[in-house]
């Protein structure tokens, strides 16, 4: 029996497919970037067909690189950018509009209206989330209200809604399966995470017809099989989780109190709270960490909208570097006497501020400031924001003392950035041997369900550390730097 597992990691800026061998080493990779569409200030979209084409291309490339065929793959695991919203025609499989990306802020005024009407308390109690444009519910309403004929079609049951995972499952299975998992459902503002079901009251509040909704399954479950015409053989889809939940699994953060932070387009820190659904008093989110065999584990989450995207802006917008990897070495050359702060609120600020109207700013520039100082400020901003999240988590979580932060994502390859992170956190930071923890988590869900990968305990025992970064910064210097960051954020907030 084959032990190859295929992980589809559909992200915000690219799609990636990774073939893992039975020993969990990487046998083949395919990755393709796709366009970011900005129709207006604060609006962000993706072309659904470009997403689909990039996924298919990546899968075929990964299989070819691994030297295997689809028949050699035991199962597929899918992980995806969360909250990004699609609605498609059930008859044709074609989306009725571009995907509205999680970063999109077009429904900010509507969210403010609902808050003013006093709905946020009820929404948060049921979903663990806040009334913010970040989540899917208000995006669904916008599509139904702004695409001609969409609401009537939806009410007739002719349309289907889904986050990217559900759209891919629909396409991969040739329209036979309309399903999502509990972690993605829990990010829509439409799902009661305590009762683990779509909520009638929330559907009425956001004016979303129930006929649009996918079936909600466990993270390791039967999501159908791929159409054999796509890759030459039918492959079972046995694992699905939103990217941050998959990274939590890939980092083996299975015990309450374990903490991970992923640095991709944005930055997302999750603290496992086990079966305890902790209600944050510090503007963090309560979310489903994962649901396995019908049992739900919860987490506290802090969401930073812009992390690696700030580095992309330096590369593509300012053109200060040709490769994102150049920012770390460039930051090392910055003048240490300059106190430049970047608050990357390009699409508003996430936790713990939740200010949809804030916009990015750079403070402390002098005539001597140049590319090195700006690069340094961008990387430091990610670390300062992480500190803000962890400070909020420490206030909310009473289940244990300080914990080591496990990190993953593209930015953690920079030793300079990880050392600064440990310094401002005043806590150890562990970087794993396998940085592709999001894909690894999706692969484990599928592989364990297929019976070809080990169970939770053995998988957790196999987690390996590449390097630990210990704090080295003087306490007075840390306080000075953090004080400057706090002042920069205060100046950036819209209210």
Give the annotated binding-site residues for ADP.
Answer: 12, 16, 265, 308, 410
Give the annotated binding-site residues.
Answer: 12-14, 16, 82-83, 134, 243-244, 265, 308, 312, 410
Give the annotated binding-site residues for ATP.
Answer: 12-14, 265, 308, 312, 410
- What's the pTM? 0.86
CA distance 4 to 31: 18
Along the 495 residues of the chain, how does pLDDT read in single tens digits?
568 999 999 998 899 999 999 888 899 999 999 999 999 988 999 999 999 999 999 999 999 999 999 999 999 999 999 999 999 999 999 999 999 999 899 999 999 999 999 999 999 999 999 898 989 999 999 999 999 999 999 999 999 999 999 999 999 999 999 999 999 999 999 999 999 999 999 999 999 999 999 999 999 999 999 999 999 999 999 999 999 999 999 999 998 888 899 887 788 899 999 998 998 888 889 999 999 999 999 999 988 878 878 888 889 888 888 888 888 888 889 999 999 999 998 888 887 888 878 899 999 999 999 999 999 999 999 999 999 888 888 888 876 555 778 998 888 888 888 999 999 998 899 999 888 889 999 999 999 999 999 999 999 998 889 999 999 999 999 999 999 999 999 999 987
Task: Cite the residue boundaries of each domain of the chain with CATH code 3.30.420.40.
Answer: 4-244, 252-494
Q: How many CB atoms lie within 10 A of CB 443?
A: 31
Residue 281, CA distances (Å) to 296, 359, 394 in order: 22, 25, 11
Give the annotated binding-site residues for glycerol.
Answer: 82-83, 134, 243-244
Cα-only R_g, the chain: 22
Do the Cβ atoms of 241 and 183 come closer than 8 Å? yes
Compute, in degrees rounded to 10, the torsion defined by CA atoms 389, 390, 392, 397. Answer: 140
314: buried, middle or exposed (CB in 10 Å: 19+, 13-18, 0-12)? buried
Give the annotated binding-site residues for sn-glycerol 3-phosphate.
Answer: 12, 82-83, 134, 243
CA distance 469 to 452: 34
Contacts of 322 (CB under 8 A, 6+ apart): 315
CATH class of this structure's domain 252-494: alpha beta
Superfamily grouping for domain 4-244:
ATPase, nucleotide binding domain (3.30.420.40)
CA distance 62 to 60: 6
pLDDT tens-digit readout, 162-201? 999 999 999 999 999 999 999 999 999 999 999 999 999 9
């Amino acid at each position: 029996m084959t032990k190859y597992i295929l992980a589809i990691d559909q992200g915000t800026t690219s799609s990636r497919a990774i073939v893992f061998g039975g020993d969990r080493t990487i046998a083949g990779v395919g990755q393709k970037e796709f366009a970011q569409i900005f129709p207006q200030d604060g609006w962000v979209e993706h072309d659904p067909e470009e997403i689909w084409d990039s996924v298919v291309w990546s899968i075929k490339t990964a299989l070819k690189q691994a030297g295997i065929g689809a028949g050699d793959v035991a199962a597929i695991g899918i992980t995806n950018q969360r909250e990004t919203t699609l609605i498609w025609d059930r008859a044709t499989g074609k989306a009725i509009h571009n995907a509205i990306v999680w970063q999109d802020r077009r429904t900010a005024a509507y969210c403010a209206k609902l808050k003013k009407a006093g709905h946020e308390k009820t929404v948060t109690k049921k979903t663990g989330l806040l009334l913010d444009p970040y989540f899917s519910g208000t995006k669904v309403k916008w599509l139904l209200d702004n695409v001609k004929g969409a609401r009537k079609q939806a009410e007739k049951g002719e349309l289907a809604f889904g986050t990217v995972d559900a759209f891919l499952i629909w396409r991969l299975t040739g329209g036979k399966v309309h399903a999502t998992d509990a972690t993605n459902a829990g990010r829509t503002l439409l799902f009661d995470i305590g009762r683990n079901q779509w909520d009638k009251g929330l559907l009425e509040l956001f004016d979303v017809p129930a006929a649009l909704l996918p079936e909600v399954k466990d993270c390791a479950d039967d999501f159908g099989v791929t159409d054999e015409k796509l890759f030459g053989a039918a492959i079972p889809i046995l694992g699905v989780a939103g990217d941050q939940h998959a990274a939590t699994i890939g980092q083996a953060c299975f015990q309450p109190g374990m903490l991970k932070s992923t640095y991709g387009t944005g930055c997302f820190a999750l603290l496992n709270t086990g079966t305890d659904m902790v209600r944050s008093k510090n503007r963090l989110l309560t979310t489903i960490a994962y649901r396995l065999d019908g049992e739900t584990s919860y987490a506290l989450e802090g969401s930073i909208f812009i992390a690696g995207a700030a580095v992309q802006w330096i590369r593509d917008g300012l053109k200060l570097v040709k490769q994102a990897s150049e920012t770390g070495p460039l930051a090392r050359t910055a003048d240490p006497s300059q106190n430049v702060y970047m608050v990357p609120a390009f699409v508003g600020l996430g936790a713990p501020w939740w200010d949809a109207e804030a916009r990015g700013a750079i403070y402390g520039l002098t005539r001597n400031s140049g590319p090195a100082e700006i690069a340094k400020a961008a990387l430091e901003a990610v670390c300062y924001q992480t500190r803000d999240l962890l400070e909020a988590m420490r206030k909310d979580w009473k289940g244990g003392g300080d914990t080591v932060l496990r990190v993953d994502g593209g930015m953690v390859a920079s030793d300079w950035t990880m050392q600064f992170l440990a310094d401002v956190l005043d806590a150890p930071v562990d970087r794993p041997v396998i940085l592709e923890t999001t894909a690894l988590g999706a692969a484990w869900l599928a592989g364990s369900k297929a019976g070809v990968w080990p169970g939770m305990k053995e998988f957790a025992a196999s987690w390996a550390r590449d390097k630990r970064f210990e704090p080295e910064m003087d306490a007075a210097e840390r306080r000075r730097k953090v004080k400057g960051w706090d002042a920069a954020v205060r100046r950036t907030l819209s209210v």
